[in-house]
Structure 1
Amino acid sequence: MKTKVILFLSGVLLGTGALQAQANQECATTASLAYSDAKANNYDAAYPRIQQLRKDCPSYSIVTYQYGERILKDRLDKAPDGEKAAIAEDLMKLYKERLQYFPAKTDAGEINADIAQLMYDAKIGTTEEQFEAFDKAFKADDNSLNAKSLYTYFYLLVELQDAGKKDLQDVFDSYDVVTAKLEEQENETAEGLAKLLEKQEAGEQLTDKEQKRLNAYETNLKAYSAVKGSINAKLGQRADCDNLIPLYSKDFDAKKGDTEWLKRVNSRLSAKDCTEDPLFVKVSEALHKLEPSASSAYSLGQLAESEGNQAKALQYYNQAAELQKDPSTRANIYYRIANQYKEKGQFGQARNFYRKAVDAKPSFGRAYLQIANMIGQSANNCGNTAFEKRAVYWKAAEYADRAGRVDPSISGTANETAAAYRGRAPQKSDIFQNDMQGKTISIGCWIGESVRVPNL
Structure 2
Amino acid sequence: MKMNKVLLTFLSFFLALAANAQKQEECKKKFESYEALVLNRDYDAAAPLLKDLIKDCPKYSADTYLYGEEIYKIKAESSRTPEDKQANIDTLLTLYADYEKNFPGNGSVVRKAMLMKEHKLADEEEVFKALDGFYTTNRKKFTDYDALQEYFMLYLKRYEAGDKNITGTDFIEKYTGIAAQVTYARNMFIAEKAALQDKQEKEPLTRREKQFLKNADNFINALSAVHQNIDKLSSNYVSCESLADYYGSRFEEHKDDVAWLESVASVLYENKCYREDVLYKTAVASYKNNRTAATAFRAGDVILKKTKKEEAIGYFEDAIALETSPSRKAELYMHIAGIYRNIDKGEAKKYALMAASANAKSGEPYLFLAELYSSVGSRDCGLNDFQQKALLFKAIDMVNKAAAAEPKYKPTAQALVKQYSDMLPNKDEAKAAGYKKGDEVQYGCWINETVKLPKL
Secondary structure of the corresponding residue to residue 391 of structure 1 = helix
What letter matches 2:305 in structure 1? Q
Kindly provide the amino acid, as one letter, of the partner of residue 89 in structure 1.
D
Q: Give the alignment partner of residue 231 of structure 1, picking from 222, 226, 244.
A: 226
Cα deviation per residue 1:366-390 (whole Å; 9 max; x = unaligned)? x974763343442698997976652
- What is residue 125 of structure 1 aligned with on the other side? 122
3-state SS of 1:124 partner: coil
Pick from 193, 218, 229 the counterpart of residue 197 of structure 2: 193
Deviates more, 1:158-167 or 1:57-66: 57-66
Cα drift, residue 152 of structure 1? 1.5
Query: Which amino acid letter does the alignment assign opposite residue 124 of structure 1?
Result: L
Matches within 5 A, 1:236-251: 236-238=231-233, 243-251=238-246
In the alignment, the residues of structure 1 paired with residue 280 and residue 188 of structure 2 have an alpha-carbon distance, to the nearest angstrom, of 30
Instruction: Give the TM-score of the pair, scaled to structure 2.
Output: 0.55
What is the CA distance between 1:161 and its match in structure 2? 3.5
1:34-62 CA distance string (max 9 Å, x none): 98xx8897867987x679969xx933787
State, as a whole percentage, how many aligned pairs show the same letter.
Answer: 16
Pair 1:155 & 2:155 matched: no
Counterpart of 1:378 in structure 2 is 373
Return closer, same or farther for 1:266/1:129 CA change in 2, 3 Å cut-off: same
1:422 correspondence with 2:414: yes
Give the drift of 1:190: 1.7
Asked whether the equivalents of residues 259 and 290 of structure 1 are also in contact (C-alpha less than 8 Å), the reply is: no
Q: Equivalent of 2:310, from 315, 330, 340?
A: 315
TM-score, L = length of structure 1: 0.55
Q: Is contact 1:116-1:133 (8 Å) kept?
A: yes
Quick one: which amino acid aligns to residue 392 of structure 1?
A: M
1:177 partnered with 2:181: yes
Provide the residue aligned with 1:76 in structure 2.
76
Q: Match for residue 164 of structure 1?
A: 158
Report the Cα distance in structure 2 between the residues aligned to 1:154 and 1:358, rounded to whole angstroms.
39
Gaps of 5+ in 1: 1-30, 200-206, 306-312, 403-414, 427-443, 450-456
Deviation at 1:163, TM superposition (A): 0.4
Question: Structure 2 matches for 1:379-398, cutoff 5 A?
Answer: 389-397=395-403
- Offset, 1:221: 3.4
Label 1:141 to 1:368 Cα distance change in 2 as closer, same or farther (>3 A).
Answer: farther
Checking the alignment, whether the CA contact within 8 Å between 2:247 and 2:264 is kept in structure 1 is: no
Q: CA deviation at 1:342?
A: 1.0
> How far apart are the structure 1 equivalents of 2:149 and 2:110?
15
**Paired AA for residue 179 in structure 1:** T
d(CA) in 2 for partners of 1:52, 1:211: 25
Q: SS at the partner of 1:395?
A: helix
Query: How far apart are 1:93 and its partner, in Å?
Result: 1.3
Do the aligned residues in 2 keep the contact of 1:347 with 1:374 (CA within 8 Å)?
no
C-alpha distance in structure 2 between counterparts of 1:51 and 1:287, whole Å: 49
Q: Indicate the structure whose relative CO is greater, using CA pairs within 8 Å and at least 6 residues apart.
A: 1
The one-letter code matched in structure 2 to 1:122 is: H
Amino acid corresponding to residue 221 of structure 1 in structure 2: A
For residues 420 and 217 of structure 1, the distance between their equivalents in structure 2, rounded to whole angstroms, comes to 30
Q: What is the RMSD computed on CA atoms of the aligned residues?
A: 5.8
Mapped to 2, the partners of 1:223 and 1:233 lie a distance apart of 15
Unmatched tracts of structure 2, length 5 or more:
1-29, 160-165, 289-295, 377-387, 419-442, 450-456
3-state SS, counterpart of residue 258 of structure 1: helix
For the Cα contact (< 8 Å) 1:263–1:287, is it kept in 2?
yes
Secondary structure of 1:343's match?
coil
